Structure 1
Amino acid sequence: MAPSSSLFSLLLFALLLGTARAEDPYHFHTWDVKYATLSPLGTPQKIITINDQFPGPRLNGTSNNNIVVNVFNHLDEPLLFTWNGIQQRKNSWQEGLPGTNCPIPPGTNVTYKFQVKDQIGSYYYYPSTSLHRAAGGYGPITVHSRELIPVPYDFPEAEHTVLVGDWYTKPLPDLTKLLDSGRSLGRPEGVLINGKGGKIESNPNPKEEPMFTMLPGKTYRYRFCNVGMKNSINVRFQKHSMKLVEVEGSHTVQNIYDSLDVHLGQCYAVLVTADQEPGDYYLIASTRFTKEAVASRALVRYDGGKAPAPAEIPEAPVGWAWSLNQFRSQRWNLTASAARPNPQGSYHYGKINITRTIKIVNSAGAVDGKLRYAINGVSHVNPETPLKLAEYFRVADKVFKYNLIKDDPGEVGETMTMAPDVVNATFRDFIEIIFENREKSVQTWHLSGYSFFSVAIEPGKWTPAKRSNYNLLDAVSRNTIQVYPGCWAAVMLTMDNAGMWNLRAGSTERAYLGQQLYFSVLSPELSLRDEYNLPDDQLLCGIVKDMPRTKLYTI
């Protein structure tokens, strides 16, 4: 018997309602974090592993997927992980930094829950507490486009994740002691590619196993991330060119490069076609802008190929002017679809009025005879109570003061103030940040919670007249920016993501010794549409440890 029209309508409504409320897919991960003795550069070291892996397992998903990571801390000290480049929309509770989260005590576990909302691209994670980054614990994050959103190139045969970075062989306690005593870490001993250091030799090693394989005639996507601590890295293949297709979540104009500079914290995706004679070839990764470059290699083998790798090793470019020109050649692909938010029509960012300009000037100096780094004269220190928790529980005045730095610091000397550095930002303001590098080394900056438009890098000092040189059409939307010696860089963004967000130097040494700050972006209406409430299972510590939990935000 056929159902009545009213019953049929009710059933149809229930079906549609259930479909509308269906959540995006979940991916569950369990991590056991512990030390293992490994020898990535030939010297036995204590390395932080995840599920006995170094680098750690890949977090792989699709735009809008929900990621759940249950972290068991088997180390002998507190631990946090941060997700470099994942924007954590409305959810700085999951950022995993000392300014937002209480660390996971030894012998306990904490579950991170976040959504890769409106994102695609190449990212990575790493431990953010103490100097744990120097002992490993990092791994890749890849976010793919949904099937309904076309990718502006043919889908590759396969993809390879390549985590490159400089590496120290000194034990972690020794490195920490160096910084705490007011000294620099010095030069790294080598470069790792996916946790391995292969020396550059004139003759191929016939027993060397390939790190990557390719089928003749096929095209592969290589995702490069610089997970190092101090140096920019140049990557290049023997006999093969690279087609750039993505920078930190943005499809790019598909330029061809013989080599790429990947600065600290940055990620790039390229296409490489196996169009040479079948055999072995090397991928080379070497430090840039150093007096003596250190390098490593990884073997790439054509499936079925027998020929040894060529003896000739391609050289890295020289000087930062070449690198600056490479930055200028990188453009946003405006014809490509992508999973990305569009606050205030920010695809047309060049037509939005700037409401605030903040100039960031890095400096180095000494406090009580010990090396420190600063932003606009303030060297950040992490208080016992995370900044976000202090703000949420309305006890911020007992933990930190807002706006210790000036938007335009003028001339910055070596005098520094050591304090928690928190800048108030107005929700949904469209701001301009100018990074001035008055030092002799290349600097890199990362902003969590956001992508910004990298509109210019130029030599000299910035003035408002320099805006006439901005790329206001197709600057790449990304989350890191490099600044060459004696240069400035300009980025633009809408502060539409409520929460507590970290701006930090890409150099681990500099960030550890104070070159970072936090932007506090508050929802004026205390609305759940803008920010999530404190999670029920969030760890509490410091002065808020025993305070009753409240729901600050409402519909």
Structure 2
Amino acid sequence: MASMRGGMMMIGAALLLCLSGGALAEDPYLFFEWNVTYGTIAPLGIPQQGILINGQFPGPKINCTSNNNIVVNVFNHLDEPFLLTWSGIQHRKNSWQDGTLGTMCPIMPGTNFTYQFQVKDQIGSFFYFPTTALHRAAGGMGMLQVHSRNLIPVPFDTPVDEFALLIGDWYNKGHKTLRKILDSGHTIRRPDGIQINGNSGKVGDSTAQPLFTMEPGKTYRYRVCNVGLRTSVNFRLQGHTLKLVEMEGSHTVQNVYDSLDIHVGQCMSVLVTADQAPKDYYLVVSSRFFKKVMSSVAVIHYTNGKGPASPELPPPPPENSAGIAWSINQFRSFRWNLTASAARPNPQGSYHYGNINITRTIKLVNSHYLVDGKLRFGINGVSHVDGETPVKLAEHFGVSNKVFSYDLVKDEPPQAQGDKVVLAPSVVNATFRNFVEIIFENQEKTIQTWSLDGYSFFAVGIEPGSWSPEKRKNYNVLDAVSRHTIQVYPNSWAAVLTTLDNAGMWNLRSEMRERAYLGQQLYFSVVSPARSLRDEYNMPTTQQLCGIVQGLPMPPPYTI
């Protein structure tokens, strides 16, 4: 009976979404019911409490097609509030479903919430993960892959199969222990190892089961995401090359690599052809930019293969400054495939984005601080704090002045930040449909990764040193990859360009969860002056309310 009620709830939610203009009726619906529970996992061989979805870690894979409507009914059986975000999914006109604490009330223990969104005009490789507490350190994540519709040709032959690969660093301490460390004012420091789809393998382990099996002569698509907490990694497949074909929703120029760096929060697709002798081979994932390299391996098996994988692993890229230069050069080799037919979420004219006038430049500098002896991270002297009322709800109900102040983060960082930092909800006012330039400058000694919800942007440049306007002459203004994450190397800067054409409240955050948890994030408020359903959907009738908006009169709905 409970299962039937859940199914009826999802069908009703889908009908409500259609009636509110949230989706086109002719686009297919995919329904999922997920139960979030604790369970024992051991990614590095040491049992610990993990977060499972339907008993799985990694969680269930969402396999969908461009323009599908996704309905996910999430039941929270944990002892803490819980939320999922859909990293890289743009939620056109629908930040209500973004799954961050600034846009939604968390799903309380013993309750459920139904996410409803459309993968509108998108293709590519993405993943979902928890945004509450430090739950990402315990699991609750999985692959979300969006295929092209049959009528849109893909710029490569259909692979015989696809493999989802979630890789990244891992801590043996539980998520509650890690959170206590951060709450006490300390850093969680280095991770304990590298996991590959929830496991960590060692060279020469004769009991290791193959992660994937390939048939000689066939070509396979590997969708790879770095779901770790803080560590950039490099992945490579012994004896094989990697043909890059897609990155965070964009088809790329199909360069061939021996290995690829992938930074926290990033996803990409590579084609691998089983063109070697039929035996076992090691997939190798190793850490980047640490003095002591951590690595893990997984066995890739050929059908009818004879013999174990060679213990001689392909070498990792160089480290330290030489490694950073190597990685920057690899970034510069990534190019958007402008001849490929594909769903493109960017606005008209963005194929010639280099000719669009920049209306605003925002320079963001990440920093760390001590506040009453406790560690905090921030942006331009502001460290974000989540309150009981999501900033999106406060703005929608007209009580934002009681929850936050706009524009604490200025377009230029303070001349001398020192140890001064403001702890408050951080919301930046943005103008609808402006074409903006965002500069990320990293003056610290560790690598950063940034992610922007609700948008893709053009990653036009990365260089060492400090940014200045004359650096624009070095931008790639022709075929920079359209994506939603960007890495910033130590003592370096990165520049992105984007059109703020997606109305809503959108999270810009560090993908390093320690940093995001301790304040290195903000929200862009992008309000359409027309307040029309053409620009933003109404708040779903099923949306949960919390904080000071509970009991307030509902604002008038948007109309066409």
Provide the TM-score with structure 1 as the length reference: 0.95
From 116, 119, 125, the equivalent of 1:116 is 119
Answering whether residue 339 of structure 2 is matched by residue 331 of structure 1, we say no
Structure 2 partner of 1:403: 407
Structure 2 partner of 1:507: 512
The Cα of 1:344 is off from its aligned counterpart by 4.2
Q: Would you say how many aligned residue pairs link Structure 1 and Structure 2?
A: 533
What's the CA shift string for 1:2-49, capped at 9, x where partnerless? xxxxxxxxxxxxxxxxxx974200000000000001222111100000
Structure 2 partner of 1:39: 42
From 437, 440, 448, the equivalent of 2:453 is 448
Aligned counterparts of 1:416 and 1:410: Cα–Cα separation in 2: 11
The Cα of 1:540 is off from its aligned counterpart by 0.1
Aligned counterparts of 1:407 and 1:342: Cα–Cα separation in 2: 24
Q: Secondary structure at the match of 1:490?
A: strand
From 532, 538, 543, the equivalent of 1:538 is 543
Q: Is the 8 A contact 1:285 1:295 kept in 2?
A: yes
Q: 1:12-51 alignment to 2 at 5 Å? A: 22-51=25-54
Q: Is the 8 A contact 1:264 1:507 kept in 2?
A: yes
What's the CA shift string for 1:168-194, capped at 9, x where partnerless? 011222101100011000111111111
Counterpart code for 2:131? S
Q: Is the 8 A contact 1:261 1:323 kept in 2?
A: yes
The Cα of 1:548 is off from its aligned counterpart by 2.8
From 365, 374, 379, the equivalent of 2:378 is 374
What's the CA shift string for 1:109-142, capped at 9, x where partnerless? 1000000000000000001101111111000000
The Cα of 1:314 is off from its aligned counterpart by 1.2
Counterpart code for 2:350? S
From 168, 171, 174, the equivalent of 1:171 is 174
Aligned counterparts of 2:269 and 2:176: Cα–Cα separation in 1: 35
What's the CA shift string for 1:143-197, capped at 9, x where partnerless? 0000010000111010101000100011222101100011000111111111111
Q: Secondary structure at the match of 2:460?
A: strand
Structure 1 partner of 2:278: 278
Structure 2 partner of 1:9: none
Structure 2 partner of 1:16: none
Answering whether residue 480 of structure 2 is matched by residue 459 of structure 1, we say no
Q: Secondary structure at the match of 2:177?
A: helix
Identical amino acids, percent of aligned pairs:
67
Answering whether residue 432 of structure 2 is matched by residue 427 of structure 1, we say yes
What's the CA shift string for 1:279-331, capped at 9, x where partnerless? 10010111100111111111100011012101201121011110000000000
Answering whether residue 338 of structure 2 is matched by residue 351 of structure 1, we say no
Structure 2 partner of 1:99: 102
Structure 2 partner of 1:469: 474
Counterpart code for 2:506? W
Q: Secondary structure at the match of 1:328?
A: helix
Q: Secondary structure at the match of 1:503?
A: strand
Q: Is the 8 A contact 1:392 1:552 kept in 2?
A: no
Structure 2 partner of 1:361: 365
Structure 2 partner of 1:479: 484
What's the CA shift string for 1:433-483, capped at 9, x where partnerless? 000000011111000000000000011111111111110000000000001
Q: 1:353 to 1:43 in 2, by over 3 A?
A: same
Q: 1:76-155 alignment to 2 at 5 Å? A: 76-155=79-158
Aligned counterparts of 1:348 and 1:38: Cα–Cα separation in 2: 48
Structure 1 partner of 2:195: 192
The Cα of 1:206 is off from its aligned counterpart by 2.7
Counterpart code for 1:543? I
Structure 1 partner of 2:16: none
Structure 2 unaligned blocks of 5 or more: 1-22
Aligned counterparts of 1:254 and 1:146: Cα–Cα separation in 2: 21
Q: Is the 8 A contact 1:427 1:521 kept in 2?
A: yes
Aligned counterparts of 2:43 and 2:333: Cα–Cα separation in 1: 35
Q: Secondary structure at the match of 1:348?
A: helix
Counterpart code for 1:116? V
Q: Secondary structure at the match of 1:343?
A: coil
Aligned counterparts of 1:529 and 1:62: Cα–Cα separation in 2: 23
What's the CA shift string for 1:517-552, capped at 9, x where partnerless? 000000101100000111000000000111233343
Q: 1:232-243 alignment to 2 at 5 Å? A: 232-243=232-243
From 412, 415, 420, the equivalent of 2:420 is 415
Structure 2 partner of 1:65: 68
Q: Is the 8 A contact 1:363 1:413 kept in 2?
A: no
Structure 1 partner of 2:3: none
The Cα of 1:403 is off from its aligned counterpart by 0.3
Structure 1 unaligned blocks of 5 or more: 1-19
The Cα of 1:410 is off from its aligned counterpart by 4.3
Aligned counterparts of 2:116 and 2:345: Cα–Cα separation in 1: 20
What's the CA shift string for 1:55-92, capped at 9, x where partnerless? 00001100000000000000011110000000000000
Aligned counterparts of 2:465 and 2:414: Cα–Cα separation in 1: 15
Aligned counterparts of 1:399 and 1:549: Cα–Cα separation in 2: 18
Structure 2 partner of 1:3: none
Provide the TM-score with structure 2 as the length reference: 0.94
Structure 1 partner of 2:344: 340
Counterpart code for 2:548? I
Q: 1:197-208 alignment to 2 at 5 Å? A: 197-199=200-202, 201=203, 204-208=204-208
Structure 1 consecutive aligned stretches of length 4 or more whose deviation exceeds 3 Å: none
Answering whether residue 253 of structure 2 is matched by residue 253 of structure 1, we say yes
Aligned counterparts of 1:413 and 1:285: Cα–Cα separation in 2: 38
Counterpart code for 2:533? L
Counterpart code for 2:335? R
Aligned counterparts of 1:248 and 1:281: Cα–Cα separation in 2: 27
Aligned counterparts of 1:251 and 1:538: Cα–Cα separation in 2: 35
What's the CA shift string for 1:369-415, capped at 9, x where partnerless? 10000000000000110000000000000000000011011433332
Structure 2 partner of 1:263: 263
What's the CA shift string for 1:328-381, capped at 9, x where partnerless? 000000110110134141111000000000001000111111000000000000
Structure 1 partner of 2:316: 316
Q: 1:21 to 1:292 in 2, by over 3 A?
A: closer
Aligned counterparts of 1:56 and 1:341: Cα–Cα separation in 2: 27
Q: Secondary structure at the match of 1:195?
A: coil
Q: 1:190 to 1:353 in 2, by over 3 A?
A: same
Q: Secondary structure at the match of 2:345?
A: coil
Bigger Rg, structure 1 or 2: 1
Counterpart code for 1:81? L
Q: Secondary structure at the match of 1:110?
A: strand
Q: Is the 8 A contact 2:346 2:456 kept in 1?
A: no
